């Protein structure tokens, strides 16, 4: 196993240990292997379950039941949005039923990271730290959304590189008119 994977493996197993429901659900994954292919890092990580423990490795020592491929950020979002497992941004190869079980496992996972933080910092510090992290996360999401809107608006309004909705609508109407004209012309040619 890669040295970098050991802390992630320990953190995942500690999180699972604090969620009895998820730990019980791991039984259905016993002996199964998931290959996580991170496209932008050109790295594949094998995750296996043995005796209610997750094991991570950079080598595939056993047959793979399911391969999940995507970019690192997209794969990282699976923890907060399990439904994205079946999105267009993630490729799944292998046992589809197993993929649904994985989605259900992720969906039911309820890790209280604030309580875990309190174990190390105490209750007095855990809440402000968690509140600060939530605020930074919210700010980052809002900033990302705002930046996307501003860039799209700039490309449409200022640089005129993208058409606006009215231009697209007019273009699509012109295409529909052209198709109808073509169909009429084709029908006339067939009659002649």
- Domain architecture of the chain: domains with CATH: 5-108 (3.30.1050.10), 118-191 (no CATH)
Q: 45: which residues sit within 8 A by CB, 6+ positions away?
A: 5, 35, 36, 38, 56, 57, 58
Cα(67)–Cα(83) distance, rounded to whole angstroms? Answer: 16
Question: Tens digit of pLDDT for each residue in 136-151?
Answer: 767 877 887 888 888 8
pTM of the model: 0.55
Q: 165: which residues sit within 8 A by CB, 6+ positions away?
A: none
The mean pLDDT values, 10 residues at a time, for the chain of 192 residues are 70 77 80 88 88 85 87 77 77 83 75 64 75 76 82 80 82 92 92 87
CB 57 within 8 A of CB 46: yes
Side by side, which strands form the sheet with 43-50?
Answer: 53-57, 43-50, 33-38, 66-70, 91-94
Cα(102)–Cα(82) distance, rounded to whole angstroms? Answer: 9
């Amino acid at each position: 196993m890669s040295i970098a994977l050991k802390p992630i493996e320990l953190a995942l197993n500690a999180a699972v240990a604090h969620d009895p429901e998820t730990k019980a659900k791991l039984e259905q994954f016993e002996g199964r292997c998931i290959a996580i292919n991170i496209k932008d890092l050109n790295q594949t990580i094998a995750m296996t379950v043995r005796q209610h423990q997750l094991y991570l490795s950079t080598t595939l020592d056993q047959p793979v039941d399911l391969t999940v491929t995507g970019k690192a950020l997209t794969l990282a979002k699976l923890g907060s949005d399990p439904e994205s497992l079946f999105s267009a941004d993630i490729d799944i190869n292998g046992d589809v039923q197993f993929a649904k079980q994985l989605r259900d496992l992720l969906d039911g996972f309820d890790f209280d990271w604030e309580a875990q933080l309190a174990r190390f910092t105490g209750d007095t510090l855990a809440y402000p730290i968690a509140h600060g992290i939530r605020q930074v996360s919210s700010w980052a999401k809002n900033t990302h959304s705002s930046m996307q809107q501003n860039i799209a608006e700039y490309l449409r309004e200022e640089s005129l590189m993208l058409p606006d909705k009215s231009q697209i609508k007019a273009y699509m109407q012109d295409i529909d008119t052209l198709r109808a004209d073509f169909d009429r012309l084709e029908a006339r040619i067939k009659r002649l």
